[in-house]
Amino acid sequence: MALYSAAAAVLAGLERGDGGIKALVYNSGFPRVRQLYALVSETLRYSPVLEKLLAGAALLQAEKKLPPQLAKVLVYDLLFGKGLKCGGRWKALARRHRARLEAELARLKVQRKVSRSEDLLAPVAAASPGGEWASGPGGLPVLGGSGGLCLTCPAPPASQVPRYVRVNTLKTCVDDVIDFFKRQGYSYLGQAASVEDLRALSGKKFLLDLHLPELLVFPPQTDFHDNLLYTSGHIILQDKASCLPAFLLSPAAGSHIIDACAAPGNKTSHLAAILKNKGQIFAFDVDTKRLATMNTMLMRAGVTSFQLAQQDFLTVDPGNPKYSKVTCILLDPSCSGSGMVNRVPREEAAPSAERLQALAGFQRKVLSHALSFPALQRLVYSTCSLYQEENEDVVHAVLQERGSAFRLVNAFPSWPCRGLAAFPGAESCLRASPADTLTHGFFVAVLERHGEGAAAPSSLPVAAEENPQHGEGAEPGAAPKKRKRKKQRVKE
């Protein structure tokens, strides 16, 4: 019962505007945060369908003491999830109405002329060619102009975004993970040649991502939370866009790095894998519970070269000798979260102009603070926001403030979606979206020190299709060449 009550409380908090999904889940006190996050996200994804089923079955009228948020969670798990594995008296209540709910579901499928529950979910709105942006009501950006995705409307459903699996190279290698999944009955199709290959995935088929060399791609909603590879820390469930910051920071082994707003820790573990646990990561977050969860996650992932601190990054002294060797900083500050596909599907979820202004002010302050570390050579600034105010405008303002000390790097030239033309050079930044890149909405900018005291420009990572490990002239979609296996093999 605790799981369903916690999920209902998170849904209620989202409706009140108390925060985003991640913050509410981590602050819930529920011990299995990933299980809770998955249940809340899926309930949100099915929310329009659940509302129709509840209305048709008159469940809330029949059970007046049943809170509507709890009703949604129970009906989701009863009809679309794991079948109410827990729940006590509420479980018994929901099962009493099962026949009527199933009849309403069958009726809805007939009305919509579909046979699968997944087909009841709304499709992603199409973006215009090139994913161009225009201004919408109140100056808010709109993807694709008049025919695209308005940011004041619900985010695209998570059913359109594939399940991305990052191989944790601290414990294993891509080849061994591929072999493991093949032994579990999955069909490996080699390396993707285009985003359309990812879009076409179905059943028990998977691909190597076309951009990131240690990222495997499975059909949407593939569940690995009980998989041995996940529970042992050999794989990390992380959206592709969220993998870009550490990938583009690309620190050399032995580097000292700051992860300024680190929890829940996926990017931190990615940095450690790139470093091969050689070097030092200083990770900061102000929330005690999130840090505790992060520490558990990092330990499970085999990360050893890190120091966690419950501290506001803005209070960290750049002149402290402890950070005198910090050459790289990953900065992923608090933002509106407007790019997350699992946002609560309500128009009121769009932040007000005042809220955006406050977020942007904080982001400018923290970015400027990060650039003041004396040995810093490269910084990646990222958000899961779609708003120009939190992205290009923040980077432009701080670069103007810093003069010629730092410059934008043309990161990942083969990436299809670039920064908005908010200022000269903004196209060096990256954007991601469900429509164009089949990921969460994301923004990434790479800054390097320029002028006196700057290190020689280091090469940014190349895309998977440009990586020599796949062989020159290899046909698109071909499997990567086998690499020497150094990590422990997972046994079933």
Residue 308 token pair: 């966690």
Q: Which of 243, 261, 384, 417 is catalytic?
A: 384
- Number of helical (H) and strand (E) elements in the chain, helices listed first: 17, 16
Indicate the angle between helix axes 68-79 and 47-57, nearest 10 degrees. Answer: 100
Indicate the angle between helix axes 88-96 and 98-112, nearest 10 degrees. Answer: 60
How crowded is the C-beta side of 452, counted as CA atoms within 13 Å?
1
The answer to whether 384 is a known catalytic residue is yes
Residue 387 near residue 419 (C-beta atoms within 8 A): no
DSSP conformation class of 169: T
**Order of strands, edge to edge, in the sheet holding 187-191?**
187-191, 205-208, 215-218, 163-167, 235-237
The CA distance from 105 to 101, in Å, is 6
- Residue 454 class from Cβ within 10 Å (0-12 exposed, 13-18 middle, 19+ buried)? middle
Enumerate residues 6+ apart whose C-beta is below 8 A from 44: 11, 14, 21, 342, 343, 344, 345
User: What positions carry a catalytic annotation?
Assistant: 384
